[in-house]
């Protein structure tokens, strides 16, 4: 048993590899030799993990993965416990279907981070790609629990078809945030791209920067939603997210929608009105 | 034992197990949080007739509350679990939901025993309510004319202690009141304890049942009532012309013991003859707060 398992990339990876085996759940029960024998997948071909990573330590639910991992997909997929720290840019589907534990990415994450996540914390220090916290294309539902924090910007269709949970983007979000949301929260501290909340049933989309609200939403009022204050305390105190000083006092224009759906969702767009 | 010339009687306060909840009320400013807290703790002196005992525990700074606004912490006590949930639903529904700018949160988040308070209150929203899970905790957003009332879905319930007390026996009513006020001032804001009676002071200490009116649950504590000293079995020493009681409810024994120590010490004023305590011979309540042990520090506090 060691304090942590450390996987350090041996060399640049030229072909996409799937690394669903890299989870604290799996590594917590294995020594370094057994970890090195775990399979990564190059398409249908297994590749021993030890051929790609230098392995140090074993039998620990604290895992550190370091290197340029942009070609390595699905790290932390399905993890349910422990801590996974990814140091470097990471490929697609990081933390997909994760149900618990904490996954910290010290870098950018590509397409589908936190896809269909059900619990735990996915914290991305850099930028995130498209369909963050969403579902697979054509899937009935996306993220259904847990929390995703992106400290940079995020791509298109974040939180698409999400059912529960919270996606927070400190920067800007791409187009169609919260498309097909069933419920849950998407919070964007920057600006949101075009057409957010299309086909939103009960979800909440909060935007502090600029946002263009679809005509299928109807304006309710301008107010201070009390749950936003609780959310800010949570994000600043427990997630160490820094916000501008005027953020806590912000008022929001509330729009109910999407009227093409149930109309029970909302877009809360920060107001300049005092 | 004497403290600054005041005798500490060799007796004990007898207290009971109760069920306790802590409610945190926040608002735009301390004034409105306090308004709601005062309403919530009104008519909540004794379970005998009020069904609940409650008081303001302390004011909370914005850094101590779940929504970063000024707040007030309230403790409520009942004799059984079911009635605690009912009282919270009634009192939050009538005194916090109705009060401008407020939100309402559980102050015992680690208590495993939960009461579905916000979950019950949500139906005031008549189907327009919605919930949010923030940091693993569910809150209900109930639309109101001002905007929204936010209330936590569940509140914690713990075993508390009710009926901690001490009696201030003084040479005059003015001396008794001055000492009692000093005790209350010293105890205000101490964690885990509330003083549910008006101003924290009781003048109508009671005994269990009645001698003449046998169906009464409680009647006047004639042993400490100076005007009937000559016609009853009095416990008042010579020279005592007024007695006042301080009653404390708390979330645990050490909180009450600590507050009693602080309060008794503050009550040892000129004009006070003796500090005593109310008990039933140790037959009714499992918690015994021996005054001398509390004051010499030999009991947990």
Indicate if the pLDDT at residue B237 is higher than 90: yes
Q: How far is CA B197 from CA A36, B15, B47, B53, B190, in A?
A: 69, 16, 11, 9, 16
H helices within chain A, ranges in order? 24-27, 32-37, 49-52, 226-238
8 A C-beta contact, residue B105 and residue B66: yes
Report the Cα–Cα distance between both ends of chain B, in Å, rounded: 19
Can you give the pLDDT at residue B285? Answer: 87
Model confidence over A108-122: pLDDT tens digits?
A: 999 999 999 999 999
- Residues with Cβ within 8 Å of B2's Cβ and at least 6 positions away in sequence, in order, are B8
Q: Residue A208's Cα: distance from chain center in Å?
A: 19
Give the separation between CA A176 and CA B200, rounded to whole angstroms: 58
Asked if residues A37 and A26 have their Cβ atoms less than 8 Å apart, the reply is no
**Residue A263: helix, strand or coil by DSSP?**
coil
Poorest-pLDDT segment among A142-156, A239-253, B154-168, B239-253 = A239-253
Instruction: Give the dihedral sign, CA B163/B166/B171/B172.
Output: negative
pLDDT at A24: 97
- In B, which residues are within 8 Å of A238 by CB distance? 135
A147 contacts on B by Cβ (under 8 Å): 135
Q: What is the pLDDT of residue B281?
A: 82
For B86, phi then psi, to 5°, come to: -65, -45
Report yes or no: B15 and B289 within 8 Å, Cβ to Cβ.
yes
How near does any CA of chain B get to the CA of A244, in Å? 15
Whether residues A234 and B150 touch (CB distance < 8 A) is answered with no
Alpha-carbon distance of B61 to B141, in angstroms, equals 23
Tell me the chain B residues in contact with residue A246 when contact means C-beta distances shorter than 8 Å.
none
Q: What are phi and psi of B197, to 5 degrees?
A: -90, 165
Distances (CA, A) of A31 to A22, A55, A61, A151, B206: 13, 10, 12, 34, 70
State how beta strands A83-87 and A102-106 pair.
Answer: parallel
User: Which residues in chain A are closer than 8 Å to B141, comparing Cβ atoms?
Assistant: 225-227
Residue pLDDT, tens place only, B42-59: 999 999 899 999 999 999
Whether B88 has a pLDDT exceeding 90, the answer reads: yes
pLDDT of residue B298: 72
Is B67 close to A185, i.e. CB distance below 8 A?
no
* Long-range CB pairs of A84-90, under 8 A, 24+ apart, other chains included: A84/A22, A84/A23, A84/A24, A88/A9, A89/A126
> A270: which 2 tokens?
């920060």
Share of chain B above pLDDT 90, in %: 94
Between chain A and chain B, how many beta carbons pairs sit less than 8 Å apart?
A: 50
Contact by Cβ (8 Å): A114, A150: no
Q: What is the pLDDT of residue B299?
A: 63
| Rounded CA separation B292/B179 (Å) | 19
Is residue B301 scored above 60 in pLDDT? no
- In a mutational test of the A interface, the residue from B24, B66, B130, B132 whose CB has the highest number of chain A CBs within 10 Å is B132
First to last CA, chain A: 58
On chain B, the residues whose CB falls within 8 A of the CB of A264 are: 130
Of the pLDDT bands very low, low, confident and very high (cuts 50, 70, 90), residue B206 is very high
CA torsion, ordered B210, B213, B219, B224, to nearest 10 deg: -70
Q: Identify the DSSP state of A128.
A: B
Strand B193-194 relative to strand B242-250, pairing = antiparallel
Tokens of residue A187, six digits? 């919070």
Where do we find the tokens 């579905």?
Answer: B116
Helices B253-267, B173-187: crossing angle, 10 deg rounding: 140
Amino acid A219: pLDDT: 98
Count the neighbouring beta carbons within 10 Å of the beta carbon of residue B232. Answer: 14
Q: Which SS3 state, helix, strand or coil, does residue A54 take?
A: strand
8 A C-beta contact, residue A97 and residue A125: no
Burial B29-50, CB ≥16 within 10 A → b, else e? ebebbbbbbebbbeebbbbeee
Tell me which residue has tokens 């914290």: A123
Average pLDDT across each block of 10 residues of chain A; the chain has 274 residues. List them in order: 90 94 96 97 96 96 97 98 98 98 98 98 98 92 96 98 97 97 97 97 97 97 97 96 87 96 96 77
pTM for this model (two decimals): 0.94
Chain A residues 154-193 with a CB less than 8 Å from chain B: 164-166, 185
Q: Residue A68 to residues A104, A154, B116, B272: CA-CA distances in angstroms?
A: 15, 20, 49, 78
Tokens, residue A92: 């697609």
A224, A230, A248 member nearest B134 (Cβ): A230
Nearest one of A127, A120, A172, A128 to A144, comparing CA atoms? A120
Among candidate residues A155, A100, A118, A160, the one with its CA nearest the CA of residue A135: A160
* Dihedral Cα B274, B277, B280, B285, nearest 10 deg: -160
Pairing of strands A45-48, A39-42: antiparallel
């Amino acid at each position: 048993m060691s304090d942590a398992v450390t996987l350090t990339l041996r060399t640049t990876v030229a072909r996409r590899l799937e690394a669903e085996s890299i989870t604290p759940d799996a590594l917590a029960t294995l020594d370094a030799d057994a970890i090195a024998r775990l399979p990564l997948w190059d398409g249908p071909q297994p590749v021993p993990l030890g051929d790609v990573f230098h392995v140090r330590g074993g039998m620990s639910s604290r895992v550190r993965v370091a290197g340029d991992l942009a070609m390595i997909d699905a790290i932390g997929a399905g993890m349910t416990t422990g801590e996974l720290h990814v140091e470097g840019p990471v490929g697609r589907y990081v933390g997909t279907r994760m149900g618990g534990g904490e996954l910290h990415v010290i870098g950018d994450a590509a397409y589908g981070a936190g896809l269909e996540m059900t619990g735990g914390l996915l914290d991305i220090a850099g930028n995130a790609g498209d369909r963050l916290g969403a579902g697979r294309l054509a899937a009935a539902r996306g993220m259904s629990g847990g929390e995703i924090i992106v400290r940079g910007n995020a791509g298109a269709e974040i939180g698409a078809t999400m059912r529960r949970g919270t996606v927070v983007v400190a920067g800007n979000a791409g187009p169609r945030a919260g498309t097909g949301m069933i419920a849950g929260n998407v919070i964007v501290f920057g600006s949101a791209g075009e057409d957010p909340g299309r086909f939103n049933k009960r979800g909440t989309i909060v935007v502090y920067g600029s946002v263009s609200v679809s005509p299928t939403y109807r304006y309710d009022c301008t107010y201070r939603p009390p749950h936003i204050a609780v959310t800010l305390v949570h994000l600043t105190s427990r997630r160490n997210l820094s916000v501008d000083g005027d953020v806590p006092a912000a008022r929001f224009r509330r729009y109910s929608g999407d009227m093409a759906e149930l109309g029970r969702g909302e877009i809360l767009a920060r107001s300049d009105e005092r | 034992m004497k403290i600054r010339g005041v005798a500490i009687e060799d007796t004990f306060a007898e207290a009971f197990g109760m069920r306790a909840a802590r409610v945190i009320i926040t608002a735009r400013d301390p004034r409105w949080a306090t308004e709601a807290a005062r309403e919530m703790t009104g008519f909540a002196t004794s379970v005998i007739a009020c069904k609940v005992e409650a008081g303001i525990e302390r004011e909370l700074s914005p850094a101590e509350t779940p929504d970063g606004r000024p707040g007030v912490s309230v403790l409520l006590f009942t004799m059984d679990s079911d009635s605690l949930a009912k009282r919270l639903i009634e009192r939050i529904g009538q005194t916090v939901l109705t009060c401008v700018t407020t939100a309402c949160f559980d102050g015992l988040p680690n208590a495993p025993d939960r009461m579905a308070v916000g979950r019950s209150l949500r139906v005031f929203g008549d189907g327009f309510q919605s919930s949010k899970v923030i940091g693993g905790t569910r809150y209900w957003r109930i639309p109101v004319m001002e905007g929204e009332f936010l209330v936590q879905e569940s509140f914690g319930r713990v075993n508390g202690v009710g009926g901690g007390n001490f009696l201030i026996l003084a040479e005059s009513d003015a001396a008794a009141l001055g000492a009692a006020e000093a005790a209350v001032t010293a105890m205000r804001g101490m964690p885990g304890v509330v003083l549910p009676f008006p101003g924290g002071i009781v003048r109508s200490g009671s005994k269990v049942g009645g001698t003449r009116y046998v169906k009464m649950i409680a009647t006047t504590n004639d042993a400490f009532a100076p005007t009937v000293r000559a016609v009853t079995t009095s416990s008042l020493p010579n020279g005592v012309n007024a007695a006042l009681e301080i009653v404390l409810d708390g979330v645990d024994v050490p909180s009450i013991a600590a507050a009693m120590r602080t309060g008794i010490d503050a009550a040892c004023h000129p004009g006070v003859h003796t500090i005593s305590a109310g008990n039933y011979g140790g037959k009714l309540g499992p918690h015994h707060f021996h005054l001398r042990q509390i004051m010499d520090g030999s009991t947990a506090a």
